[in-house]
Structure 1
Amino acid sequence: SLIFKKILDQIWRLPAAQGFQHPVRNPDYSKVVKAPMDLCVMKQRAKDFAYSGSDSFTMDLRLIRDNCHLYCRTRFPHLLQLADTVLNEGEKLLSTKHQEIVRLEASMGKWASAISRGTPGQSYPGTPGRRS
């Protein structure tokens, strides 16, 4: 959604976020971190409307922070505070958009419910076996 994209644009501009904008390329990273996440992936998810609400968005922000703590604790301890800052700032930005996100989540819930129920006699574009 546009809300999450705007929040990510603000996070992206944070000096603390520079190390989290793109995937980690260290050779041993995938041996330590099993679910990598970065801000570039989050931007793509926002663009693809993959975030249905603040919970999934926050989970990805926390994953960035948790992965940093897991991998960098002994290797690059100075990055831990930066990851915490990115998460904290992201959560602050989310809280400023709380009402908009609640409305978005409610409208998405209604939309998903209508699609799952369907409307008798109604055909939806792309529905197999039905004409649009």
Structure 2
Amino acid sequence: MVDRNELWAEAEELADLIIQSPEIIQFKECELALKEVPEAQVMMAQLRELQEQIAEFQARRVPFEHYKHMMHDMESLLEKLENIPEVRKFQAAQSAVNDLLQAVTNQLAKAVLERVTGEVSGCSSGDC
């Protein structure tokens, strides 16, 4: 039986490998480039503020008519943000990282399932 601390240590090693991947390196570069665009930073702050206000209205069950103008403002901000090249590059890099993490998760789940299924069917060596 494996000690959980050993399992967590192995997970940390996997995280170190993932951090060295091209996807993560590209993500970090795009994040830094995006931070150098003041216009984008201002718009993202405005977007977060609008999202919080909208969430508050929704939580309080305020009728949509009372905050629909905020939704339009948010959509307009999103459109403007998506026209900034650094934002598009960051979004693509973020998507690549998400895809990598999903692929690692899927591979891990598949490997565990194969081993569990093999052991259940009486084949614990993995050569079945």
Q: Provide TM-score, normalisation by structure 2.
A: 0.36
User: Which of structures 1 and 2 has the bigger CA Rg?
Assistant: 2
Q: Provide TM-score, normalisation by structure 1.
A: 0.36
